[in-house]
Chain A
Amino acid sequence: MTDEFAFQIESRLMSHGVYVTEVDAADESERYHVTYESMAADAGTIPHREIGRVINVFRDLHDDDWAGAEIAGTVLDLEGRERGRWHVEADWLDELHNGELTETEFSGRVIETVEPST
């Protein structure tokens, strides 16, 4: 993952009040881990719309034929306290791009992974 790629993720999400503190890729981009501060995140609340924005930025920054990668998100509040986690399986993105999953079905799967911090 290039610095420019990380900057583009950070800058596009900042426009929506999502402040990326860390984004990295392991295993030659087969798994991304993004940590971000969310203005809307609260105890027990992880904004679903923001998760969608994060995923869509990754999709936008890849070619249309992207086979997908696992994306793991860690959500912080503005004080830096962890508020929850979520993730996307690479297969889901692949199925979405192939038309085997609808956007609604895809979103449903992602939302099921959300784990608010206790």
Chain B
Amino acid sequence: MTDLGGFHDHVARVDLSSGEVAYEGVDEEDAKKYIGARGLGVKYVFDQGPDVDPLGPENLLAFMNGPLTGTQVTMSGRIAVCTKSPLTGTVTDSHHGGWSGARLKWAGFDGLLFEGEADEPVYAYVEDGEVELRDASHLWGKGVHETRDLIEEEIGGEYGKNLSLMTTGPAGENEVRYACIVNEDDRSSGRGGTGAVMGSKNLKAVVITSTTKMQKPADAETFKEGHKQAMQLIRESDVTGPNEGGLSVYGTNVLMNVSEEMDGLPVRNAQYTSTRSEAEADPSEPNIDAERVSGENVRENILVDEPTCHSCPVACKKEVEVQTMHKGEEMNVRMESYEYESAWALGPNSMTDDRDRIAVMIDRCNDMAVDTIEMGNTLSMAMEATEEGLIEEGIDWGDAEEMISMIERVAHRDGELADALAEGARRAAEEFGDPDIAMTVKGQSIPAYDPRAIKGMGIGYATSNRGACHLRGYTPAAEILGIPEQVDPRAWEGKGELCALFQDLHAISDSFDICKFNAFAEGIEEYVLQYNGMTGLDVTEDELMETGERIYTLERYYNNLAGFDGDDDSLPARFVEGEEKAIPGQGGSEGDLAELDKMKEEYYEVRGWVDGVVPDERLDELGIDIGPGTGVSADDGGAAAPSDD
């Protein structure tokens, strides 16, 4: 039980097998140690045990908000979905913005925990502190967009005003390992296959009704002081400044041209580091230009609106409308998630710069509920496999029309190739006979930053607890944007420490749960003031940073118990050993490779880990007093480290 500000002390535990709903409070010590959202959600998943089958009824699916979710804090509309990932086998947490996190808080909940498996499809209806399971057989098989419309008609509310929806689509129902959960139409908890877990439980959706009901801060003066400081920094920032900063004007896709210019954009399944260098290497091929899918190009040609999430002055969402042809038929799409990562994965990395068809692909991914990053990587891997003659029924580089079709086929596991690709890039590449063509870490595909040119991303991908990910520790903030200070992206020295710092900082914001984009402007001082102000706690900056480290370490500890160690902190061979045909065309990064071993050594030293494993002493120092321990001691050099089996 807790009476900390920012909490309702109210969590629903839903047994889908029996249909029973129980309610419980939040353990105050856990709330202090792990904050909420990601941190608390991972703790719930940890308590369920690391050996569960991710797609079995015993896996826990936790929808968690944090003490700052749905408050006046800027960009505080986020929610964390925590579970054991069917894609990686690690613990994972995947967040989305919009309004569902805030609305869950306003409906009286700190979190919803789903266990078991329903006999028939159901959805969870949430209102005024109560959860009710309702029949979803009429929604099963429907895409996200149709589900959205049917729920609105059935419930009678209005999205954005008093109604929110988190749903999966056919991909989740068919247990595609990278199926996601979509909020309304476009915002996704994209990574790690949370939608597949939802589908495995016969849970179609979570529907929440509530009007805006913000909670009062425990210490209003401190809270307001922190809020003012933060808001001033956000307004003055070149990145977040409303209507002026790059993120506000162009959205996340402002990075497309930037990455291309610095040879940090993986192209052609990461064989090259820019579309320019790819064209230089092989001018005889049809070549592409990243600029055609950039935020600048999108803004000039297809932008129709700039919607926001709860309490966001930045408005990074860029709503676009396109009319294009698909298989001889006109296709009109209006959507609001033309994000950098999605545009890259389904664009330059798959050798297409067909801006409008990429919008269609992203929309198809949203409607089917699949992770755009994993889908793009999986398709580009299949294109390379086709070129290498590894598969007979294949897909050609840059075939945008076929990519659109393939997204739906994968979501339905329609045919042998689609069924293989539904397992994700790594498993499919293994089946095709060449695992090296999968650009994955721990089974999850890379996002849009090339670790040969942006070295911090190399150690970030490798040590991410949920598989390759840019959002665990966003070192490009320093390496590209100069926040808090500019560092050389191509230098490896210091990147282990930088990566750990960002990982801890983001573990905090993910547990509040507020958008990471706050960190482009504000820092730990503003975090502390707003957190203390809302909860009534009195933590120092150092104590809050240690909490971030505790959360990150708890995740690593879970993974260690699930069998992961330093060997899994790896990168695809292409990034550390070179790609024979790519080197001549790598432009400014010619010859650059990710110095992973050196960065790992530095990183483990900062963390106090032994070959990727948390020693028991470190668990004690951080106050992680749950579970059996890893059996590894820092004093004996890790002699008892788990084997690699």
Contact = CB atoms under 8 A, between A and B. Distances in A.
Nearest to B77: A15
Contact of B74 (A12, A15, A78): A15
A24 B313 CA distance: 27
A8 B228 contact: no
A39 B231 contact: yes
Given A8-B214, A11-B214, A19 B74 contact: no
A16 interface: yes
Interface string B53-72: 00000000000000000011
A17 B72 CA distance: 9
A20 to B, nearest CB: 10
A8 B235 contact: no
A43 B96 CA distance: 39
Contact of B311 (A15, A19, A39): A15
A40 B231 CA distance: 11
Contact of A7 (B71, B216, B313): B216
A12 B74 CA distance: 11
Contacts of A78: 228
A101 interface: no
A15 B228 CA distance: 10
A89 B558 CA distance: 61
B232 interface: yes
B175 to A, nearest CB: 39
Interface string B158-184: 000000000000000000000000000
Interface string A67-111: 000000000001000000000000000000000000000000000
A46 B260 CA distance: 41
A11 B227 CA distance: 11
A14 interface: yes
Residue in A11, A15, A17, A60 with the greatest tally of chain B CB atoms within 10 Å: A15
A46 B214 CA distance: 27
A27 B25 CA distance: 43
Interface in B220-272: 224, 227-228, 231-232, 235
A11 B232 contact: no
Given A15-B72, A15-B311, 20 more contacts: A7-B216, A8-B213, A8-B214, A11-B214, A11-B216, A12-B72, A12-B212, A12-B214, A14-B224, A15-B74, A15-B310, A17-B231, A17-B235, A19-B224, A19-B228, A39-B231, A39-B232, A39-B235, A40-B235, A60-B212
9 contacts: A8-B212, A11-B214, A12-B214, A14-B72, A14-B227, A15-B74, A17-B231, A19-B228, A40-B235
Interface in A1-52: 7-8, 11-12, 14-17, 19, 39-40
A12 B313 CA distance: 12
Interface in B309-365: 310-311, 313
Contacts of B313: 16-17
Interface residues of B, number: 16
Contacts of A14: 72, 224, 227
Listed from nearest, the 8 A-B pairs whose CB atoms lie closest are: A15-B311, A14-B72, A11-B214, A17-B231, A15-B72, A11-B72, A14-B227, A39-B235
A88 to B, nearest CB: 22
B592 to A, nearest CB: 42
A21 B390 CA distance: 68
A11 B76 CA distance: 13
B221 to A, nearest CB: 12
Contacts of A7: 214, 216
Nearest to B311: A15
Nearest to A10: B72
A12 B72 CA distance: 7
Contacts of A17: 231, 235, 313
Residue in A16, A17, A19, A78 with the greatest tally of chain B CB atoms within 10 Å: A17
B38 to A, nearest CB: 22
B348 to A, nearest CB: 36
Contacts of A19: 224, 228
Contacts of B212: 8, 12, 60
Contacts of B71: 11
A37 B624 CA distance: 44
A62 B171 CA distance: 42
A78 B232 CA distance: 10
Residue in A11, A19, A40, A78 with the greatest tally of chain B CB atoms within 10 Å: A11
Nearest to B236: A39
Nearest to A14: B72
A12 to B, nearest CB: 7
Interface in B61-94: 71-72, 74
A93 B71 CA distance: 28
A79 B216 CA distance: 24
Contacts of B213: 8
B476 to A, nearest CB: 27
A106 to B, nearest CB: 20
Interface string B288-314: 000000000000000000000011010
Contacts of A60: 212
Contacts of A16: 313
Residue in A8, A12, A14, A16 with the greatest tally of chain B CB atoms within 10 Å: A14
Contacts of B74: 15
A116 to B, nearest CB: 21
Contacts of B311: 15
A101 to B, nearest CB: 22
A14 B214 CA distance: 11
A78 B311 CA distance: 20
Contacts of B228: 19, 39, 78
A7 to B, nearest CB: 6
Contacts of B235: 17, 39-40
Contacts of A11: 71-72, 214, 216
Interface string B381-418: 00000000000000000000000000000000000000
Nearest to B211: A60
Contacts of A12: 72, 212, 214
Contacts of B231: 17, 39
Nearest to A15: B311
A19 B311 CA distance: 14
Nearest to B161: A60
A25 to B, nearest CB: 20
A11 B102 CA distance: 14
A113 to B, nearest CB: 25
A91 to B, nearest CB: 26
Nearest to A40: B235
A17 B214 CA distance: 16
Contacts of B224: 14, 19
Contacts of A8: 212-214
B513 to A, nearest CB: 16
